[in-house]
Amino acid sequence: MHIAIIAACDDNNGIGKDGNIPWKNKADLRFFKATTQGGKNNAVIMGRRTFESIGMPLEGRLNIVLSRHDSTISDLKTYILTDSLSSAIKTCQQSGITHAWICGGQEVYEQAVTQYCSLGVSKCLITNIKGNFNCDTYFPELISPDWSLETVSALDADTTMRVFKAGRKTDCQ
């Protein structure tokens, strides 16, 4: 199973403000949808607040929501609720998922970036939205040699895609 992180950040690594994404960028939205929905058996893994900010399950993907507490979210038929990132990944493996995409928020990203080896995360796709949007939540720094820049490409005039590859430590399986 392929496990990757996918995020959109402003120039200061900001990912959100007041519980929402502070920009509207069609190129990023198209990229996110095509990447996370591309093909069968894909899953998106996100924290409860990220799920609530989206307001509905993302179509064409298994939605797994992380929450440490009983959630106030209703309609468990449209998503799976787990209490940890490792549990979410096990759920993906048991469900026959081929691609799992970790897509926020800040705390979930921090766990995925720092625990990438034990979780089996191999890549991180970051869309950079030009500008500073005065965010209050941030994507963590990708520290070398754990993460190395693999490619950079433009999605449009205001959006750059950076792909980072996870380093392989000797204690990784």
The pLDDT score that the predictor gives to residue 141 is: 94
The hierarchical CATH code for the domain 2-166 is 3.40.430.10
Domain boundaries, the chain: 2-166
Alpha-carbon separation of residue 8 from 12, 15, 42, 101, 161 (angstroms):
11, 6, 19, 13, 9
pLDDT at position 49: 92
Instruction: Give the C-alpha distances (Å, rounded to integers) separating 109 from 67, 95, 105, 153, 167.
Output: 14, 22, 6, 22, 17
Check residue 171 and give its pLDDT.
54
In the predicted model, residues of the chain with pLDDT beneath 70 are 70-77, 168-173
Tell me the pTM. Answer: 0.93
Q: In which element (H, E) is residue 9 found?
A: strand 2-9
pLDDT for 38 equals: 80
